Amino acid sequence: MSQNPIAVHFQQSLAALQRAANDTTLLAAASEIAVTIIDALRSGNKVLLIGNGGSAADAQHIASEIVGRYRKERPGYAAIALTTDTSALTAISNDYGFERIFCRQIESLGRPGDILLALSTSGRSPNILTALDAARRLGLVTAGFTGLKGQSLREVCDHLLVAPSDDTPVIQQIHMTAAHAICDTVEHALADGDSDR
Ligand SMILES: O=C(CO)[C@@H](O)[C@H](O)[C@H](O)[C@H](O)COP(=O)(O)O
Ligand SMILES: [Zn+2]
């Protein structure tokens, strides 16, 4: 008897999340990225986030949890998903090309000490690579979330979280689990350290 295809999706997700839970390199990268975000936000810097397709939605999701809240009551902190402004996205794309949609916004909004968090499951999207190059040039800290095929992002990312999969939707699920863990860690540190601000 063939297996229920929906159950197969859940089983594949579970297996991938289990691999991620045992992946000490991924866990260390998530902790590093959390500490980097805590330090940047405490110093008054901001987090800029980028991604395509489902990862654009993930970028917005993560930004909303820094600006709003994850679980705890605490002040808002600065994070902007560069995936949301349709006027900027269409104008930049129309006038300069799709590759520059994020790069141009980083040149306008990024300041040294800010963090660029780039989500790309393939690690090969030209608009993401151009943005990471611009961020480096401008003195931002660069962090990447990718999958097994995106390891070359290490060359342009100060911190890289690699989901142990080469399947885009599965990688995205691991990214969001890691992102929630990072938001939780950041929120605890910022809420506990509010009196330092
Ligand atoms: O969400 C999904 C698949 O789950 C798609 O929309 C996916 O995000 C798009 O194909 C993206 O263009 C992939 O870009 P990237 O992750 O390789 O940078
Ligand atoms: Zn969430």
Residue closest via CA to ligand 1's atom 6 equals 53
The pTM assigned to this predicted structure is 0.96
Yes or no: say if 186 and 62 are a contact pair by the CB < 8 Å rule: no
- Report ipTM (2 d.p.): 0.97
Q: Is 60 exceeded by the pLDDT of residue 44?
A: yes
Give dist(CA 63, CA 69) in Å, integer. Answer: 10
Each domain of the chain, given as residue ranges in start order, spans 32-192
pLDDT band for 195, please (50, 70, 90 cuts).
very low
CA of 52 to the centre of ligand 1 (A): 6
The model's pLDDT over 143-161, given as tens digits with 9 standing for 90+, comes to 999 999 999 999 999 999 9
Nearest atom of ligand 1 to the alpha carbon of 54: 1
At residue 145, the 3 state secondary structure works out as: strand
Q: Which residues pair with 115 in a beta bridge?
A: 47, 141
The model's pLDDT over 63-77, given as tens digits with 9 standing for 90+, comes to 999 999 999 999 999
What homologous superfamily does CATH list for 32-192? Glucose-6-phosphate isomerase like protein; domain 1 (3.40.50.10490)
- For residue 25, give the H/E element and its range: helix 24-42
120 is in an annotated binding site: yes
Residue 15 pLDDT: 96
94 is in an annotated binding site: yes
User: 192: which residues sit within 8 A by CB, 6+ positions away?
Assistant: none
Ligand nearest the Cα atom of residue 124? 1
Nearest atom of ligand 1 to the alpha carbon of 150: 17
CA of 137 to the centre of ligand 2 (A): 31
